[in-house]
Amino acid sequence: MITRIDHIGIAVKSIDSELKLYTEVLGLELKDIEVVEDQKARTAIIPVGETKIELIESTEPDGVIARFIERRGEGLHHLAFEVSDIRKALKKLEQGGIPVIDAEPRGGVEETSIAFLHPKGTKVLMELVEPKW
């Protein structure tokens, strides 16, 4: 079901302020910056081997990331796992008693299909990602 860790999502107040650490200090390369309108978020994709770091900032004061930072501060937001069939994975997880936030996949960064699992069942917010093949 899970093929690899796709990315690690990190909530930040400002992508522009944080990029120096990842690019200049750590020597990583920025792949892309993308806005996901329906999630009120702006993301920076930074590849690290086969996985990525996804810096996420809110584009609106009432966005999910803004509320997360207000409650918990900047830092680890979620772990994302690549799956080959997101609908099949969601069905299997729901049958196993794992609560989901997204019963149906939605559009994500880099033209992917995504769905989030509720941290009540996983201890950390998890995202399933099905890449556009």
Q: What residues have CB less than 8 Å from 46, skipping those under 6 apart?
A: 22, 23, 28, 29, 30, 31, 52, 53, 54, 55
Q: What is the pLDDT of residue 132?
A: 87
Q: What is the mean pLDDT of residues 11-26?
A: 97
What is the spatial distance between Cα 80 and Cα 95, in angstroms, rounded to a whole number?
Answer: 20
**Per-residue confidence (pLDDT) for residue 92, from 0 to 100:** 96
Question: pLDDT tens-digit profile of 58-80?
Answer: 999 999 999 999 999 999 999 99
Q: How does pLDDT run across 81-124, given as a tens digit for each residue?
A: 999 999 999 999 999 999 999 999 999 999 999 999 999 999 99
Confidence at residue 119, expressed as pLDDT on a 0 to 100 scale? 96
DSSP state of 96: T
CB contact at 8 A, 121 and 97: yes
Task: Spell out the domain ranges in the chain.
Answer: 2-130
Q: What is the CATH number of domain 2-130?
A: 3.10.180.10
